[in-house]
Chain A
Amino acid sequence: MEHPILLLDFINHPLVRFLEKHFGLTDPNHLYHVTYMWFYMLLLIGISLFAARGLKLVPGRFQNFLEVAVGGLRDTVRNTMGDEGMRFFSLIATLFIFILIANLGDIIPGMYSPTANINTNASMALIVFLLTHIVGIKVHGIKYVKQFVGPIWIMAPLMIPIELIGHLARPLSLTVRLFGNIFGEDLVLFILLLLAPFLIPMPMLALMIFTALIQAFVFTLLAMMYISGAMEEAH
Chain B
Amino acid sequence: MIELNWTFFVQMINFLILMFILERILYRPILKVLDERDKKIETGQERAKDLLDKSEYMLKDYKERISDAKVEALEIKNSAMREAEEEANRVINDGRKKAEEILEQIRADAERQVEAARKELESEVGSIASSIVNQVLGREVAQ
Binding site for B on A (CB under 8 A): 1, 25, 27-29, 31, 33-34, 37-38, 41, 44-45, 48-49, 51-52, 55-57, 59, 66-67, 70-71, 74, 89-91, 93-94, 97-98, 114, 116-120, 122-124, 126-127, 179, 183
Q: Report whether A37 and B14 are in contact in the complex, using a CB–CB cutoff of 8 Å.
A: yes
Q: Report whether B2 and A41 are in contact in the complex, using a CB–CB cutoff of 8 Å.
A: no
Binding site for A on B (CB under 8 A): 1-12, 14-23, 25-27, 29-31, 33-34, 36-37, 40
Q: Report whether B30 and A52 are in contact in the complex, using a CB–CB cutoff of 8 Å.
A: yes
Closest to B18 in A: A41
The total of Cβ contacts below 8 Å across the A-B interface reads 117
Most buried by B among A55, A59, A70: A70
Determine the chain B residues whose CB is within 8 A of the CB of A48 once the complex forms. Answer: 21-22, 25-26
Closest to A175 in B: B4
Q: In whole Å, how far is A39's beta carbon from the nearest beta carbon of chain B? A: 11
Q: Report whether A127 and B22 are in contact in the complex, using a CB–CB cutoff of 8 Å.
A: no
Q: Report whether B23 and A41 are in contact in the complex, using a CB–CB cutoff of 8 Å.
A: no
CB-contact partner of A119 in B7, B16, B20, under 8 A: B7
Determine the chain B residues whose CB is within 8 A of the CB of A118 once the complex forms. Answer: 1-4
Q: Report whether B1 and A183 are in contact in the complex, using a CB–CB cutoff of 8 Å.
A: yes
CB-contact partner of A34 in B14, B16, B17, B25, under 8 A: B14
A179 to B1, CA, bound (A): 10
